[in-house]
């Protein structure tokens, strides 16, 4: 039979466990207060409006300085054409001021000639990379450092020779 010290330790442990678990078992939950509308601020259910000002392209700026414009151009393209084609995405960026020789784009089709799930396009700007991904369901982007290869994307990309 265990000694008194062991029994007291066991009883103490049981009391601590019971106290901790008592907070997990509750009685009737208390109702949350409901706003009455008399307060000075009320939450808004409508999304924030889109900015009405078109972002500005800064040809001598950094990638970070041009990300908002890059996103604007690609988002507008994606909203009309969904994913489109790599050639059309690059042409659209060139038409908005980006330099074609600073771009990379992934292939539109896979190695077994089925449509790619998405197309990734990048633009090098002052040692940084703007990287955007277009797919039938949306657009996303990020800034990345220039790779040691001097490129923005890893792997084989589509030649941009049109």
Cα(64)–Cα(114) distance, integer angstroms:
34
Tens digit of each residue's pLDDT (9 = 90 or more) over 70-111: 999 999 999 999 999 999 999 999 999 999 999 999 999 999
The confidence score (pLDDT) of residue 50 equals 55
Against a cut of 0.85, is the pTM above it? no
Q: Token pair for residue 9?
A: 């330790």
The confidence score (pLDDT) of residue 32 equals 41
């Amino acid at each position: 039979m265990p000694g008194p010290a062991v029994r007291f330790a066991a009883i103490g442990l049981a009391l601590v466990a019971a106290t901790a678990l008592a907070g997990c078992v509750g009685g009737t939950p208390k109702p949350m207060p409901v706003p009455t509308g008399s307060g000075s601020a009320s939450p808004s259910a409508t999304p924030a409006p889109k900015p009405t000002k078109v972002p500005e392209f800064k040809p001598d700026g950094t990638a970070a300085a041009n990300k908002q414009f890059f996103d604007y151009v690609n988002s507008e393209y994606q909203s009309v054409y969904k994913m489109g084609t790599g050639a059309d995405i690059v042409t659209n960026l060139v038409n908005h001021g980006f330099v074609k020789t600073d771009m990379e784009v992934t292939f539109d089709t896979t190695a077994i000639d089925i449509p790619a799930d998405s197309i990734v396009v990048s633009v090098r700007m002052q040692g940084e990379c703007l990287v955007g991904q277009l797919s039938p369901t949306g657009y996303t982007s990020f800034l990345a450092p220039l790779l040691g290869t001097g490129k923005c994307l890893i792997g084989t990309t589509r030649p941009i020779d049109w």
